[in-house]
Amino acid sequence: MTTFTAPTIPNIENNELRQQLQQIIDQKTKPLGALGRLETLAVQLGMIQGTTAPHINQPQIRVFAADHGLTKHGTSAYPSAVTAQMVYNFLQGGAAINVLARQHNIELKVVDAGVDADFANSPFKDHAQLLDYKVRHGSRDALTEPAMSAAECLAALENGMDVVKSMAGNLLIVGEMGIGNTSAASLLLARLGDTPINDCIGRGTGLDDAGLQHKATILTQVLARHSEAQAPFDILAALGGLEIAMMAGALIQAASERRILLIDGFIASSALLAAERLAPGVAQYAVFAHHSVEPGHAHLLKLLNAEPLLNMGMRLGEGSGAALAYPLLQSACAIINEMSSFNDAGISGQNS
C-alpha cells in the first residue's frame, strides 16, 4: 500500500519567547501597538525562527507548473497549451512574478511538476531556472479516474520535499502555473474543508456565466465519482493536481526546517490546507500574503484561521501576491532589530 510519511513539524509555541518578543516591541520608541499588524508580524516571525532577532536571508520563489486532465471538459477559459507557454515566459523573465522577484531580489526558479510538454527538446532544456521534477505529462482526467495514482501523488509530494532540501535561504514562496488548477483547488477545498462546491468555485482565468455553471456541474460530478476518497492523501490523489501536491510537499519540508512560508492566494492556500492535513503543524509557519478575489479563498482562509496582510483584488497566482507582500516581512524584521527602545534613545516612555 502506498502511503506518505511526513517529517516531524516542530511546534513553534513558546510562551517565554512570545513574552520576550512582545516586551522588546513594546519598549520601542512608539506608543503601545502603534505599528499594528507589523508588530504581530514581527512576533510571528520570531516565533517561527525561535529567536528574538528574526531575519530573512536568501528568500526563494518556486513556481510549480503542471497540466490538468480535467480541462478536456471545458472547465477553463484557456487551453492547456498555455501552461507550457507561460513556463517559457517565466524562463524569459516576462511574467509578473519575474518582475516582482527582480524588484525584491528574490531568487526564482520554475519547477516542471507535470507540464504536458517536453522541455528536454526545447531551447530551454538547460536553463538554470528550470527544475525538472516531472511526474507525468499532466494529471489524469478526474472525472473518470483519480487525478493521480497513489504512486504518482507520493512521487509529487516527495519531489516537492526534495526541491526544498536543496534550496538556500529561510523563506519560501510557492507559486503555480497550471491551466485548470482552480478546479483542482476548489475540489480539494470542498472535500478537505467540507465546503459546498458552489462556494468553492470562481471564474478562474475568466469564465463567463455559462462557463461557470458548466464548471460547477463538472466538479460536482467529480466529487461524486470520488466519494470514497476521505483520507487526506487519498483526497489529494483523487482530486488534486501534480503542482498542488508538489507544493504541499515543499511546504511540509520547509516547515520541518523552520522556514517561513509566505503564502500566496487560492491555489497556494489549497496546497497549504493539504499540507496541514497531511502533516499537522505546517500552518504555524505560514504568513498569508493577500486575500484573493477567487471566492473559495475566503473559505480557505477561515479554515486556516488566517488574516492576510493585503487585499489588492488580485487573482493571478504565480506567487505574485506573496512577492508583493514580502517587503512587509522585511520591515517587521527591521523594526524589531533596528528600532531604538526608549532606554536606548534616552526617551521617557510609558511602555514599561
What percentage of the chain has pLDDT greater than the value 70? 98
pLDDT of residue 350: 61
Q: Is 100 left (phi over 0), alpha (psi -120 to 50) or beta?
A: alpha
Share of the chain above pLDDT 90, in %: 91
Residue 348: what pLDDT? 84
Per-domain residue ranges for the chain?
A: 15-55+334-345, 60-330
Task: pLDDT band for 188, please (50, 70, 90 cuts).
Answer: very high
Residues 186-194 have a mean pLDDT of 98
The model's pLDDT over 52-82, given as tens digits with 9 standing for 90+, comes to 999 999 999 999 999 999 999 999 888 999 9
Position 187 scores a pLDDT of 98
- Written as nine digits, the cell of 118 is 517536453
How are beta strands 286-288 and 107-114 bridged, if at all? unpaired
Is residue 176 flagged as an active site residue? no
Q: Does residue 352 carry a pLDDT above 80?
A: no
Give CA angle at 167 (271, 248), nearest 5°: 10
Question: What is 60-330's CATH number?
Answer: 3.40.50.10210
Buried b (16+ CB within 10 A) or exposed e, 166-205: ebeebbbbbbbbbbbbbbbbbbbbbbbbebebeebbbbbb
Distances (CA, A) of 241 to 18, 65, 200: 38, 10, 16
Cell (9 digits) for 67 = 497540466
By the 8 A CB rule, do 188 and 176 touch? no
**Class of domain 15-55+334-345 as given by CATH:** mainly alpha
Q: Is the pTM of this model over 0.95?
A: yes
The whole-number pLDDT of residue 204 equals: 72
pLDDT digits (tens, 9 = 90+) for 117-160: 999 888 888 999 999 999 999 999 999 999 999 999 999 999 99
Amino acid at 185: A
Catalytic residue among 276, 294, 318, 338: 318
Residue 181 in contact with residue 243, Cβ under 8 Å?
Answer: yes
The answer to whether residues 281 and 9 touch, using CB atoms and an 8 Å cutoff, is: yes
